[in-house]
């Protein structure tokens, strides 16, 4: 998958789906971003960023082992970037998928209902109970177990003679002795009831003066099991909160990340991309890809920002300081530390007169999941400040919640309304089309793709864009001298062909997608010369 290029979204999805089902995410980074209106004024906006990085490791659930593959190259990469494999195995959080959680809760609830019925039946029969004489003590052979049983007998007798109504709890780790004591109590102390219990990893034999108390303790134990399921849900509880609040989920170049998120924490990825889209939107109806936003939004693409996350973050921080009018809305940030990790705001590295980085404190922690999430949050805020500034829209008019009906005089708009051509569009790497629309039909059918090949390797993005001016086209690079040119609509596709025909002595070749496929077919069937 890593080095292959894909023609068609279904093929791209199928390949990445196989990868997500084979491998496992080892670390999840999240960063909650909150605008503080009490510290925002005069068009400026103060943001509180709360990043966290969590190790993810599969825990055995009810004896069901999980298996996954490991890439040697990935292991080396993680090691070179400070990944702690011991902490991953020892402290990595497990998870339950929704179906696993539902099954466990249903099983515990069935037992709660059964014990509740037994408790009610015992209460109804209590008035009809008659005392039973104690039987002859059981004959226990000489040995360690007999000495222990005699000690337990004594404790029960003393407890019965005391005025307390509290249950008797006897620490008892030995399973055989617990089994033996249940038999002893049933035969020698028929007026009381016994029950084995576990609390905080310690085993007890509990003795009660009424059967109702036994059932109450069983219900308390079952409720503890139900509460423990909340912890077993693990990492998914955080993403579930995003779903419940209908907040946007933001990533950078994140299609593969989203597939891993779904496959690991929710369910097996569906066979078709359309089924995945439908399932994904039920969980996350608003997603944003800062890479796609940087490369496709009309107010950002002209900046020609870098493609990688660290470079884009540094670039947007610098771009926020421009004095143009209208310029970006002023923003400030602070980091709210949630764990022992010491996250710091990314700072662009200073350069000397030669352009080389100068020595100083390096805050770059790229590839650490929480830090990458922190940078992604900063990038989106800066991108939004740039867009809002150009459109002269204040932050107060941005609603980061779900789509909702509003009064005619309500100026607020959701992200989907603010960025209708960007929300739920995710960049695809080494694929054509190079973007997927998660919320609808993929607009980029191949009839609007053109192979532009043979242009000078010195040409940059803006040189390529000028060729097709005044049209606005998308570009997807293949190598230094070729790329795909993507028209926005059918009319622009026709115009691209007309512009190419009008160029005298073009320094490149242009093929439609069909012409490209035909040329590939001819090359494949051409006879091969043999020496």
CA distance 105 to 94: 17
More confident: 479 or 359: 479
Domain extent listing, the chain: 6-95+236-350+366-403+411-427, 100-123+148-233, 445-524
What is 6-95+236-350+366-403+411-427's CATH number, 3.40.470.10, 3.90.245.10, 3.30.420.10, 3.40.50.2300?
3.30.420.10
Confidence of residue 3 (pLDDT cuts 50, 70, 90): very low
More confident: 521 or 271: 271
Q: What is the mean pLDDT of the chain?
A: 85
CA distance 502 to 497: 9
State the pLDDT at residue 429. Answer: 82
Q: Is the pLDDT of residue 357 over 50?
A: no
Q: Is the pLDDT of residue 79 over 60?
A: yes
State the pLDDT at residue 323. Answer: 64
* DSSP character string of 355-412: SPBPSS-----TTSHHHHHHHHHHHHHHHHHHHHHHHT--GGGEE-S------TT---
Q: Is the pLDDT of residue 4 over 80?
A: no
Reported as a single tens digit per residue, the pLDDT across 124-138 is 765 555 555 656 777
Give the alpha-carbon dihedral of 75, 76, 81, 86, to 10 degrees. Answer: 50
More confident: 517 or 188: 188
Task: Give the domain 100-123+148-233 fold.
Answer: Ribosomal Protein S8; Chain: A, domain 1 (3.30.1370)
Helix 175-188 to helix 144-161 angle (10° resolution) is: 50
CA 105 centroid distance within chain: 23
More confident: 426 or 141: 426
Pairing of strands 249-251, 287-289: parallel
CATH superfamily of the domain spanning 445-524: RRM (RNA recognition motif) domain (3.30.70.330)
State the pLDDT at residue 123. Answer: 74
Share of the chain above pLDDT 70, in %: 88
Helix 273-283 to helix 255-265 angle (10° resolution) is: 80
């Amino acid at each position: 998958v890593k080095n292959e290029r894909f023609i068609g979204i279904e093929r791209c999805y199928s390949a990445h789906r196989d990868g997500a089902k084979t491998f496992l995410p080892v670390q999840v980074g999240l960063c909650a971003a909150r605008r503080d209106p009490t510290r925002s004024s005069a068009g400026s906006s103060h943001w509180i960023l709360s990043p966290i990085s969590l190790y993810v490791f599969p825990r055995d659930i009810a004896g069901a082992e999980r298996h996954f593959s490991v890439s040697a190259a990935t292991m080396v990469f993680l090691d070179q970037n400070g990944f702690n494999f011991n902490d991953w195995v020892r402290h990595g959080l497990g998870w339950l998928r929704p179906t696993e959680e539902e099954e466990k809760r249903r099983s515990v609830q069935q037992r709660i209902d059964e014990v509740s019925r037994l408790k009610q039946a015992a209460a109804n029969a209590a008035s009809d109970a008659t005392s039973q004489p104690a039987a002859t003590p059981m004959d226990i052979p000489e040995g360690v177990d007999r000495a222990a049983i005699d000690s337990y007998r004594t404790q029960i007798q003393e407890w019965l003679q005391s005025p307390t109504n509290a249950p008797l709890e006897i620490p008892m780790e030995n399973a055989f002795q617990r089994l033996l004591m249940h038999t002893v109590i049933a035969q020698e102390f028929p007026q009381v009831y016994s029950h084995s219990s576990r609390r905080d990893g310690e085993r007890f034999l509990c003795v009660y003066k009424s059967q109702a108390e036994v059932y109450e303790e069983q219900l308390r134990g079952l409720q503890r099991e139900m509460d423990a399921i909340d912890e077993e849900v693990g990492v998914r509880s955080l993403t579930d909160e995003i779903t419940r609040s209908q907040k946007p989920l933001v990533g950078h170049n994140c299609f593969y990340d989203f597939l891993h998120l779904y496959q690991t924490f929710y369910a097996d990825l569906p066979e078709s991309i359309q089924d995945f889209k439908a399932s994904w939107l039920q969980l996350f109806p608003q997603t944003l890809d800062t890479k796609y936003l940087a490369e496709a939004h009309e107010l950002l693409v002209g900046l020609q920002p870098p493609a990688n996350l660290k470079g884009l973050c540094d670039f947007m921080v610098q771009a926020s300081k421009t004095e143009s009018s209208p310029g970006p809305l002023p923003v400030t940030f602070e980091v709210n530390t949630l764990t022992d990790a010491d996250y710091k705001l990314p700072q662009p590295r200073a350069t000397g007169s030669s352009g080389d980085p100068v020595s100083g404190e390096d805050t770059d922690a790229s590839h650490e999941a929480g830090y990458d999430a922190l940078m992604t949050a900063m990038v989106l805020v800066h991108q939004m400040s740039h867009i809002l500034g150009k459109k002269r829209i204040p932050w107060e008019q941005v609603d980061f919640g779900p789509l909702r009906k509003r009064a005619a005089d309500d100026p607020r708009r959701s992200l989907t309304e603010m960025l209708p051509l960007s929300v739920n569009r995710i960049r695809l790497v080494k694929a054509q089309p190079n973007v997927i629309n998660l919320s609808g039909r993929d607009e980029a059918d191949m009839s609007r793709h053109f192979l532009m090949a043979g242009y000078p390797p010195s040409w940059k993005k803006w040189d390529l864009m000028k060729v097709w001016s005044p049209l606005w086209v998308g570009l997807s690079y293949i190598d230094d001298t070729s790329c795909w040119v993507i028209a926005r609509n059918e009319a622009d596709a026709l115009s691209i062909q007309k512009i190419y025909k009008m160029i005298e002595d073009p320094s490149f070749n242009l093929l439609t997608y069909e012409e490209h496929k035909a040329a590939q077919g001819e090359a494949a069937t051409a006879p091969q010369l043999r020496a």
